[in-house]
Chain A
């Protein structure tokens, strides 16, 4: 189900006919997806729909059996996580992968520490980390030298996101970023997601929470049993249609009328969505 809503502009990432089998199980049956820069693309689907497999194909964790990946218009292969990172793709997994005993700066630079004269250049790293966090308006931290163990869930999520965008990344993939968060912290993280897109990054957000999806997503892509059953602007969907597509792969409903949208988008006003 290819689409033509990117207004003639080549999307940052374009997937065509991605297939993946695990033994006899067909996890992805020829999936197409466009991920434009500067927009939040929500990836939806029931358990087992193939969301994780699709994301792992992009992140280089397993290569698709068939299909094409275009990055900035060029056909690419993503055989390893390293190749994915080299393109500018960063994944923030649900478990965040932060070291509780290290502070914010140390976590953000883990594995890519800056050195001066063979020793760690703590001041330089602290400056760069502070700059990135300020750029993302992550301002609730008491100190960026506090160990991550002392932070709230929303703050951890923010640090994990900031860590991902620090490295000239162009596409950030967020796996259920709000799954474990309370209301206020969810809002904080969704605002951050919105800001990433506003700064020109492409964002793929996997989520089960339709409120979150309609709050920040510009585009929606719905997987059902390895098939892309709905893809397009968020304004063309409403929660009920999304649920039908997620559960049955079909929808009898017409695309939502613009009026219907205001009820669905809970946070949109506060988030300053375009």
Chain B
């Protein structure tokens, strides 16, 4: 047993209101800068819908994640690593900008500066890539609130794999929201895809990161990630991705997307897992067994043997304590209401989801069997608007049973608590029907409904005393071009110029603050660009410039 700690997230989709506050605060904090205008480390999809980038779930097209070979081994779906290395200069399975969207801005300054004329001034849209006029025809969130549109619904990869026909009719409408960040997988195919070894998983908390010094911009990680949560910064020529806000986590603060989630649906906490069992679990043949296989990799933090092994692995006491108080462990392994996103990609994702309940279809309501009884006041799970099969397509490789079990627990919690709320007593039979006890249902209720800040986020701070120790272990000369490297390495020189990107946004803003005109020369934050002229810094400067 090799005990490791993983910082993980659970999102309760049943509470998600689709507001996108998480997306905005994340973007403001991390990707509000040139080179990553189109990048949303956190995005929210309306489902049904085809997502961002378009149809990212279609692995037959994009080749992300792992597949199991006949011999029972895992290989990257996009081909073995040899193939990757062979095709390194022409990565064919990469989403283009139009698969994300062409970022744009508007001619805002015309509103103030338009000369006297015939018509009311207006800010017309301008492409952030070409500077030309454009008609906006796709965005990071084009499907928003459609419940699937006639234009795109047929392309939803989940719907395509469903046996049940889903009509796009008013009476049958359903929708829900799926917020997504990097999954910080236990078995990350992006890391395995990187020819430069620039991607890594932090040993203490499992956060998957791109070393900005080491990245050579091959973009194999973009192809390798089945969730398309690694992005290419076209200015620096490096890959970037969600960092799980490690500068915040290290001091005990939740990620930006979590703390700012007004739906209060995100949970952060540790799980302990057995690193030795990951590969085996990810290689299990039956896709429907992957969920339980992944659960079995997680260790019970209350098990004395696990605690002992964790100590031996050097995991600090307060981290072990945090693992024991972890809401993630409770939701995944105790209550078993949270499910992984696309376990069939075999990356062992570590952002899990509680599936959404949904209204009943009118057909059921008008049948008259919904009445006074607590058991039927809330609708039967099988009659909910969102087809179980759709949820199963997302969370359980198509197996509807775990989804139904999870939804039944939520419904049971509601019925059980209604009795208490109305002073009509506790009905243990309700808990029993879903294999739980009343006490456990009440505990789960407190975690899901009352959900105090301290219970949503159980985050042990980083141990800086150890970090210093670790720093000493590292070779300080091992940076790009340094004496420890002995040249550019076997895979060519970096594809983009090294750019001192830190607080670039700050400098841009400062320039603008002191300038008379709204647009400034030099490094422009394209999200603020007024659309005039060709912006500097759109592409990496040619060698010799700057």
Q: Do A and B bind each other?
A: no
Contacts from B to A (Cβ < 8 Å): none
Contacts from A to B (Cβ < 8 Å): none
